[in-house]
Amino acid sequence: MSLTREDRASAPASAGEKAPQREQRHSDAAGSIPTRDRRAFTRLILEHDERLRALAYRLLGDRDLMDDVLQEVYVKAFAALPGFRGRSSAGTWLYRITFTTCIDTLRRQRRLEALPDDLLQDVVDPAPDPGDELAERERLALALGALPPEQRAAVLLVDRDGFDYKTVAEILDVPFGTAASRVSAARHVLRRMLGSPPEETR
């Protein structure tokens, strides 16, 4: 499923804007999606495209690969519409497809790289000195890049995107305890490598 330029122009922009509060950030409807309704599906994609791209980019670290993966995700999601029963929200369902497609891509390419600096700008609190800010971003890039993709996704979904553990478990398709342990393990590595604990958002 490909988005037109007009579709993208009407999509909500999130880059450079202050993120809304967590209770508002993922407020999509939990009902079923009309099967094979292209207009309804396009509206759903437009609602979530920016956040899904952010997740894919943080996992893949490559914009071209991100675009390819998102196109694959939307084709998969459209084909899977008849099986969607609304047990989770439509957004959580799309996040799960995005996550699994990214992980499959990383496994095929055997990639586990440090993340590009520019995607970390909204993860690290700005420092007064630009040199200190750059050094902090580089340290965080190395620390995040050292994490297995599953742990990297878990900690970013909680601490950056503001999902709770229950929703993260649904996205990652793992038990609640596994999602929590991945976040805990990732935070432990980040704390050890960075020398201070990252902000914990529950």
State yes or no: pLDDT of 73 exceeds 60: yes
Q: Which among 139-143, 171-175, 194-198 has the top mean pLDDT?
A: 171-175
The verdict on 172 and 88 lying in the same domain is: no
Domain boundary among 111, 140, 173: 111
Which CATH number goes with the domain that contains 77?
Answer: 1.10.1740.10
Which CATH number goes with the domain that contains 147?
Answer: 1.10.10.10
pTM above 0.85, yes or no: no
**Position 122 confidence tier, pLDDT thresholds 50, 70, 90:** very low
Q: Is 28 exposed, middle or buried (0-12, 13-18, 19+ CB in 10 A)?
A: middle
Confidence at residue 183, expressed as pLDDT on a 0 to 100 scale: 95
State yes or no: pLDDT of 5 exceeds 60: no
Confidence at residue 20, expressed as pLDDT on a 0 to 100 scale: 38
State yes or no: pLDDT of 35 exceeds 70: no
Q: What percent of the chain has pLDDT over 70?
A: 66
The verdict on 160 and 134 lying in the same domain is: yes
The verdict on 53 and 88 lying in the same domain is: yes
In a domain, 5, yes or no: no
The verdict on 102 and 143 lying in the same domain is: no
Confidence at residue 17, expressed as pLDDT on a 0 to 100 scale: 39
User: Which residue has tokens 């055997």?
Assistant: 110
Confidence at residue 143, expressed as pLDDT on a 0 to 100 scale: 80
In a domain, 117, yes or no: no
Distances (CA, A) of 113 to 19, 64, 96, 107: 26, 15, 22, 12
> How many structural domains does the chain have?
2
The verdict on 107 and 134 lying in the same domain is: no
pLDDT in tens, 53-70: 988 988 888 899 999 999
Contacting residues for 52 by C-beta, under 8 A, at least 6 apart = 70, 73, 94, 95, 98
In a domain, 75, yes or no: yes
Structure tokens at 1: 């499923």
**Position 134 confidence tier, pLDDT thresholds 50, 70, 90:** low
Confidence at residue 185, expressed as pLDDT on a 0 to 100 scale: 93
80: containing domain: 15-111
Confidence at residue 66, expressed as pLDDT on a 0 to 100 scale: 94
In a domain, 123, yes or no: no
Q: How many CB atoms lie within 10 A of CB 198?
A: 18
